[in-house]
Amino acid sequence: MANRGNFSGNIGFILAAAGSAVGLGNIWKFPYEAGQNGGAAFLLIYILLTFLLCYPIMIGEIAIGRRAGSDAYGSYRQLGGKRWGYLGLFGILCGIMILSFYNVVAGWAFGYFLEISFGSLLDHPNYGTFFSEYVIDFWDNLIFSACFMAITAFIVLKGVQKGIEAASKIMMPALFSILIILIAYSLTLPNASAGISFYLLPDFSKINFQTIYSAMGQAFFSLSLGMGALITYGSYVGKNQNVIGAAATITLMDMSVAFLSGLLIFPLVFSQGQSPAEGPALVFVVLPGIFNAMGPIIGRLMGGGFFLLLCFAALTSTVSLLEVPVAYFVDQKKWSRKKTTWLLAVFIFVVGLPSMLSQGAVEMFTHLPFYQDRSALDFVSEVFSDISLPLGGFLMTLFIVTRWGTNNMSEELSLGNESYRNSLLEKYVNFSIRYICPVILGIFSVLIIIDKFYGIDKLTN
Ligand code: TRP
C-alpha cells in the first residue's frame, strides 16, 4: 500500500469530499426534485433527513475507509469478510452506472456553457424548445460528454492529491460567489416573492410517501453516500485528521449550495410564469431567462461563467465517481492506474450511450417498454441512485451494527478527535446508526422498490 496517495491534510480532504458532494445534484437535481415534490415541504424533509441519517452515515463510511485503508470492496472485505465484500462490489457497480448518466448531463451543461458564451442561445425565442432540441442533437452530445469523460479520466490519472484537490480549491468559492450574485438579482424580478413562498413556506398537506423518499434519495445522491465513494476517499485520509469535523463541514457546504440553488431557481420559475414541476429540464429552461434579462454582454458573461462553474462542480463529482472503480482495480487486481482509468472511462462512456439517446433521439431508449415507457436515463438514475443509494446506506449500517461494531467505529473516529469518546455527539451518531438508519432505511428501501416497479398506490387501492 506504499504509494496509494494521501490527501495533503484536513483541508485537502474536505475540499475533495465537498467537491464530490457539490455538483449537478445540487444545482440541477435538487431544484427539480423540490419543484416536483412540494417545494418547501421537500426542503424541510431533505434537511431533516440529512441530519438524522446522512451525517452519521457519512461519518461511518469515512471511518470504514480510513480503518481499512482500501477501496470499497477491499475495505468491507477486510473488516467484515468475503460476504460483506459483495456490498462493496455493489457500490462499485452503482458508481459505474451513476457516472454513466451523470456524464451525459454534464455534457449538457458544457454545451450550455458554449451556447450561451459563444452561440445564440440567449436570443432563442423559447428556451424550452431549445432544450428539447438540444438534447437530441447526437453529435453535440456525443462530443461534449466524451470530452467530459476524457477530462475526468485525466484528473483521476493525476492521482488524488494534485488532480482532485486543486480543482476543488478554485471552484468552490467561485461557485458560492456567483450564486449569491445571481440570487440577489433574481429577487428583484417581478413575482419573485411567489417563488420564495413556494420554496420557504411549507404546506404540510403536500407531504406524502413520495415526498419523503425523493428527499431521501436526493440527500444520499447529493452527499455522495451509499455506494462507497467516501469509503474510497476515507482510505486516503490521515489518522491524525478530524473526521467528525470534516464530515460536518462537507455536509453543511453541500446543503448550502443546494439551498442557494433553490433560492435562485424558484423566484425565476415564478417570475417567468413556468411550472416548478417541469422535471429534469427545469434549470436548463429557467436559467437562460435571467441571463437574457441581464443584457447581451453581462448576460453572456454571467451565463457562461455560471455554466462553466457548474461544469467544474460536476467534474469534481465525476472524478469521485470514477475513482471508486479505479481504486478497486488498482488495489485488488493490481492493474496500473493508467490502464485502469482509460479502460473504465471508455467502458462507462459506452454504458452511458442509451441514457444519452433517451431524450428523444432514439425511440427504443426514450420509452423503455419494461419500465413503464420511461426513458433509459430515468431507469438508470432511479435504479442505481434513488433505489440503490438508500439501500446501500441501509446495508452499511447493518454492517456496522452486526459485524464491525459501533465500538470499533468510535475508536477509529477518536483518532484525530480525542474528545469524541463519550461525547453527546458520539451517542447521537451511534443511536442513529444502530436504530434510526436501519429502521427508516430498511422500511423505505422496500417501499421504494415496490413503488418504482409496481406503484405503491396500486397496493392501497
Ligand atoms: N454528489 C454528487 C452531486 O451532487 C454526485 C456524486 C458524486 C455521487 N459522487 C457520488 C452520487 C457518489 C452518489 C454517489 O452532484
Q: Please name the residue ranges forming H helices in 118-242.
A: 127-134, 138-157, 166-186, 192-200, 209-222, 229-234
**Residue range 227-269, pLDDT digits in tens:** 999 999 999 999 999 999 999 999 999 999 999 999 999 999 9
Higher pLDDT, 31 or 160: 31
Q: Return the pLDDT at 458.
A: 65
Average pLDDT over residues 41-57: 98
Mutate which of 105, 224, 386 to test ligand 1's pocket (most atoms within 8 Å of Cβ)? Answer: 224
Residue 2: pLDDT over 50: no
The alpha carbon of 356 and the centre of ligand 1 are apart by a number of angstroms equal to 18
Q: Return the pLDDT at 428.
A: 98
Q: Return the pLDDT at 332.
A: 96
Residue 6: pLDDT over 80: no
Mutate which of 218, 222, 257, 322 to test ligand 1's pocket (most atoms within 8 Å of Cβ)? Answer: 222
Q: Beta partners for 142?
A: none
Q: Which atom of ligand 1 is nearest to the CA of 223?
A: 1
Task: Read off the pLDDT band of 177 (50, 70, 90).
Answer: very high
The alpha carbon of 194 and the centre of ligand 1 are apart by a number of angstroms equal to 31
**Residue range 280-313, pLDDT digits in tens:** 999 999 999 999 999 999 999 999 999 998 999 9
**Residue range 58-85, pLDDT digits in tens:** 999 999 999 999 999 999 999 999 999 9
Q: Which atom of ligand 1 is nearest to the CA of 23?
A: 15
Average pLDDT over residues 3-16: 78
Task: Read off the pLDDT band of 11 (50, 70, 90).
Answer: confident
Q: Return the pLDDT at 158.
A: 83
Residue 461: pLDDT over 60: no
Average pLDDT over residues 215-222: 98
Q: Is 427:435 a contact under the CB 8 Å cutoff?
A: no
Q: Return the pLDDT at 161.
A: 66
Question: Which protein residues touch ligand 1 with a CB less than 6 Å away?
Answer: 20-21, 23-26, 98, 221-222, 224, 227, 229, 317, 320-321, 389
Q: Return the pLDDT at 1.
A: 40
From the list 398, 434, 351, the residue with the least C-alpha distance to 390 is: 398
Using CA atoms, how far residue 122 sits from 261, 274, 293, 423, in Å, is: 21, 17, 9, 54
Task: Read off the pLDDT band of 189 (50, 70, 90).
Answer: very high
Q: Return the pLDDT at 78.
A: 97
The alpha carbon of 321 and the centre of ligand 1 are apart by a number of angstroms equal to 7
Using CA atoms, how far residue 95 sits from 46, 243, 436, in Å, is: 22, 23, 25
CA dihedral 81, 382, 38, 25 (to 10 degrees): 70
What percentage of the chain carries pLDDT values higher than 90? 88
Cβ burial, residue 112 (10 Å; 0-12/13-18/19+): buried
The alpha carbon of 223 and the centre of ligand 1 are apart by a number of angstroms equal to 6
Average pLDDT over residues 107-123: 96
Question: Concatenated DSSP letters for 294-321?
Answer: T-HHHHHHHHHHHHHHHHHHHHHHHHHH
Residue 168: pLDDT over 90: no
- pTM of the full predicted structure? 0.95
Q: Is 29:221 a contact under the CB 8 Å cutoff?
A: yes
Task: Read off the pLDDT band of 52 (50, 70, 90).
Answer: very high
Residue 5: pLDDT over 80: no
Q: Is 221:389 a contact under the CB 8 Å cutoff?
A: yes
